[in-house]
């Protein structure tokens, strides 16, 4: 449940910050007349993301078992690729996000109402579709027959909305650079589990071999129905009997990705940190 809560919080907060920046800029520049088209674009983006998630959930139920496993495995791998790109992109560009969105809004205001709707839709829609896909893949990977994974996601999204509103009202100040760095690192760990789960799906669909070659089996030591087994599964998508291929893929993804993600920025990182801090403060004030 915690892993899915983290996904909802991390992904939802990105979308919330984008919405806050867009709305705050229009209010501060006296363009309240543009709020309705912007909210329209945001609403359309949310509805499409929700519809995409529903299509993934209910559409796959009509497939054969092999087709379901092939689809689930393929989409899980795509989701991991998207979320990996996203966490690196956000870490690199978070301090410039407000300036970038302001520039797009200025251009849209000059071009008319329809352009405003499209700008808001694109700004939020990308986050929404990425979130829907990764949430679906993670819920499938950590599903334990209960609604806890989905509840975790919804609680994370609700928390993100509250934090976003508090940002807008100026009631919360946190270091967004550090927040996105550490939650991004934890999200990479969650993504590694989703990737391993996706590989297992492809093995069950006979797209990848080695289904019966287990790396280890510790069912007796870590029962999946125990509290600690559930905790490991919920956070890391832990599996007590992974295949050799799953373990190899998990290690080959997790170790280098975390190493690159937490690597120092380079020789000019001291100046970059100061600049990042200033940008972070500006983003929080937005």
What pLDDT is attached to residue 282?
A: 42
Comparison of pLDDT for 120 and 192, the residue scoring more? 192
Comparison of pLDDT for 269 and 175, the residue scoring more? 175
Comparison of pLDDT for 180 and 194, the residue scoring more? 194
Q: How many domains does the chain have?
A: 1
Where residue 267 falls among pLDDT bands split at 50, 70, 90? low
Structure tokens at 66: 């092999």
pLDDT digits (tens, 9 = 90+) for 10-48: 778 878 878 887 888 888 888 888 888 888 888 998 899
Secondary structure of residue 172 in the 3-state scheme: coil
If one counts every other C-beta atom within 10 angstroms of the C-beta of residue 166, the result is: 15
> Measured in whole angstroms, how far is the alpha carbon of residue 87 from the centre of its chain?
8
> Measured in whole angstroms, how far is the alpha carbon of residue 131 from the centre of its chain?
5
What pLDDT is attached to residue 273?
A: 44
- Whole domain around residue 85: which residue ranges? 2-285
Comparison of pLDDT for 198 and 140, the residue scoring more? 198
What pLDDT is attached to residue 36?
A: 87
pLDDT digits (tens, 9 = 90+) for 215-262: 988 888 887 777 677 777 766 777 888 999 999 999 999 999 999 998
50-74: burial string, b at 16+ Cβ within 10 Å, e else: eebbeebeeebeeeeeeebbbbbbb
């Amino acid at each position: 449940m915690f892993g899915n809560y983290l996904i909802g919080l991390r992904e939802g907060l990105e979308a919330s910050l984008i919405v806050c920046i867009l709305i705050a800029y229009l209010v501060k520049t006296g363009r309240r007349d543009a709020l309705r088209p912007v909210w329209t674009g945001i609403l359309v983006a949310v509805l499409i993301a929700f519809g995409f998630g529903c299509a993934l959930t209910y559409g796959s139920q009509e497939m054969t078992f092999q087709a379901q496993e092939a689809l689930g495995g393929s989409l899980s791998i795509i989701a991991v690729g998207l979320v990996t790109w996203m966490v690196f992109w956000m870490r690199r560009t978070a301090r410039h996000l407000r300036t970038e969105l302001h520039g797009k809004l200025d251009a849209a205001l000059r071009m008319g109402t329809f352009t405003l709707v499209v700008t808001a839709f694109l700004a939020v829609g990308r986050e929404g579709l990425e979130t829907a896909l990764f949430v679906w893949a993670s819920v499938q990977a950590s599903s334990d027959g209960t609604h806890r994974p989905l509840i975790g996601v919804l609680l994370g999204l609700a928390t993100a909305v509250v934090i976003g509103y508090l940002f807008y009202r100026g009631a919360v100040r946190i270091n967004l650079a550090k927040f996105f760095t550490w939650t991004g690192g934890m999200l990479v760990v969650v993504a590694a589990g989703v990737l391993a789960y996706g590989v297992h799906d492809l093995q069950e669909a006979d797209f990848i071999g080695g289904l019966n070659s287990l790396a280890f089996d510790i069912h007796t030591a870590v029962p999946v129905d125990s509290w600690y087994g559930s905790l490991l599964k919920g956070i890391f998508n832990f599996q007590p009997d992974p295949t050799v291929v799953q373990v190899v893929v998990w290690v080959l993804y997790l170790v280098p990705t975390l190493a690159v993600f937490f690597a120092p920025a380079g020789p000019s990182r001291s100046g970059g940190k100061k600049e990042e801090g200033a940008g972070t403060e500006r983003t929080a004030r937005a």
